[in-house]
């Protein structure tokens, strides 16, 4: 199900100059309440209570929006993402070797007790000072051990933890006895039972390791939802068109065309006849031509935004994978933006599509 929360263009009308409240009124007239594409409603004037409820449900957070704001690409103070942060106490079961300019240790490996079993819960690599890293290393170095004490993570919807051999990313880990406890702030728990966006808060010298029992974790699971077709009738589109024609703020302006690329921006394509969509017989060449055809409408919404590629090497019916990091052989004229990754503890170079050639 796709939940729609804004309407920035309709047919030939550019709706970005309209206030958000007006855009949502038009969207509500157009989008159905049920079906594969639905209108996403909002909460007014009860933001704090709504955030508390979202946090209790284990969701990521909310977005607070100014009702009178125009649509602007990029960051602005009109829309504010408010994260639902949670915290918990975890046992240190190891640490990773330091990387780059960091000394003493890289990240702490964490675990907690689930039904009498010490279960791996993820790692935390932010929130430390230099002196704290030194203190933690001095505490952990004397209790180093060969193998992990904890079992692997609990994958939703499983109830039993995986074997310790399936703890992710353990090549650089130095395991320790389960002695010391830390309090960690985290955003959410992933479906594979790991902390996401964890940050160190403090060392809990007042708490024993056996007291760290898992409580209140909400792991995302597939919800049973009604995806029955409920197509919007043509009457909805007619109503929206009529309201746009009488709205003085709706500007009949197409998106600005992208700037012409320098002549030297060229890329050689191969295997243009390779079939990517077997049922429709669409090829790699067809896909490239499609991108060229829609680029003048698509590019205004991609400019200055990092993108993640979903790659299907063997066609749409084959296996796929995500690619965030630009490879070393990418053309120099394709712009990239470095963004720090907590998972890899380094900057990842995301592609940015500023022109047709990059797209």
pLDDT in tens, 285-339: 888 888 888 888 888 888 788 888 888 888 888 888 888 888 888 888 888 888 8
Tens digit of each residue's pLDDT (9 = 90 or more) over 107-120: 999 999 888 888 88
**Residue listed under structure tokens 């090549």:** 171
**Cis peptide leading into 349, omega within 30 of 0?**
no
Calpha distance 1→200 (Å, rounded): 36
| 145 and 94 housed in the same domain | yes
- CATH number of the structural domain spanning residue 22: 3.30.470.30
Look at residue 310 and tell me if it is in a domain: yes
Residue 183 sits in the same domain as residue 238: no
256 secondary structure, DSSP code: P
CA distance 245 to 105: 63
206 and 236 assigned to the same domain: no
Mean pLDDT check: name the lowest of 107-111, 216-220, 350-354.
216-220
- Domain residues for 293? 275-352
Q: CA-based angle 306:271:355, to the nearest 5?
A: 30
- Distance CA(209)–CA(113), nearest Å, equals 9
Cα–Cα distance, 309 to 295 (Å, whole number): 17
Q: Report in angstroms the alpha-carbon separations of 264 from 261, 267, 333, 337, 357.
A: 8, 9, 9, 22, 10
The string of DSSP letters for 269-317 reads ---TT-EEETTTTEEHHHHHHHHHHHHHHHGGGTTT-EE-EEE-TT-TT
| 63 burial level (CB within 10 Å; 0-12, 13-18, 19+) | exposed
62 and 175 both lie in a single domain? no
pLDDT at position 217, please?
56
Please give the average per-residue pLDDT across 176-202, as a whole number.
87
**Structural domain ending residue among the three candidates 168, 187, 211:** 211
Q: Which residues contact 295 (CB under 8 A, 6 or more apart)?
A: 258, 356, 359
CA distances from 302 to 72, 299, 354, 355 (A): 13, 5, 7, 9
User: At residue 229, does pLDDT exceed 60?
Assistant: no
Which residue, 211, 236, 254, sits at the end of a domain?
211
Task: Report which of 58, 40, 41, 61 is spatially closest to residue 50, judged by C-alpha positions.
Answer: 61
Domain count for the chain, please give it: 3
Domain assignment present for residue 206? The answer is yes
């Amino acid at each position: 199900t796709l939940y729609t929360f804004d309407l920035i263009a309709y047919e030939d009308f550019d709706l970005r100059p309209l206030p958000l409240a007006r855009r949502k009124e038009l969207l509500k007239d157009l989008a159905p309440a049920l079906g594969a594409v639905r209108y996403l409603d909002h909460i007014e004037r009860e933001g704090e209570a709504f955030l508390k409820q979202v946090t209790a449900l284990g969701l990521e957070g909310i977005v607070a929006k100014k009702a009178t704001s125009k649509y602007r690409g990029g960051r602005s103070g009109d829309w504010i993402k408010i994260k639902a942060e949670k915290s918990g106490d975890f046992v240190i079961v190891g640490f990773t070797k330091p990387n780059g300019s960091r000394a003493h240790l890289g990240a702490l490996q964490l675990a907690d007790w689930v039904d009498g079993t010490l279960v791996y819960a993820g790692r935390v690599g932010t929130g430390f000072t230099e002196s704290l890293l030194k203190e933690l290393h001095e505490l952990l170095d004397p209790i180093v051990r060969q193998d992990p004490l904890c079992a692997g993570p609990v994958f939703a919807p499983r109830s039993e933890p995986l074997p310790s051999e399936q703890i992710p990313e353990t090549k650089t880990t130095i395991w320790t006895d389960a002695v010391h406890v830390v309090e960690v702030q985290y955003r959410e728990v992933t479906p594979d039972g790991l902390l996401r966006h964890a940050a160190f808060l403090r060392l809990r010298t007042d708490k024993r390791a056996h007291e760290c029992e898992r409580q209140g974790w909400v792991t995302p699971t597939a919800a049973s939802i009604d995806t029955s077709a409920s197509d919007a009738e043509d009457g909805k589109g007619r109503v929206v068109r009529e309201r746009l024609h009488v709205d003085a703020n709706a500007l009949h302006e197409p998106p600005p065309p992208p700037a012409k690329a320098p002549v030297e921006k060229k890329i050689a394509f191969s295997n243009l006849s390779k079939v990517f969509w077997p049922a429709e017989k669409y090829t790699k060449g067809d896909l490239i031509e499609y991108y060229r055809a829609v680029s003048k409408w698509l590019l205004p919404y991609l400019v200055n935004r990092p993108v993640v590629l979903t790659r299907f090497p063997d066609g749409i019916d084959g296996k796929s994978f995500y690619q965030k990091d630009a490879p070393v052989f990418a053309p120099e004229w394709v712009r990239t933006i470095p963004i720090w990754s907590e998972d890899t503890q380094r900057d990842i170079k995301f592609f940015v599509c500023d022109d047709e050639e990059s797209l």
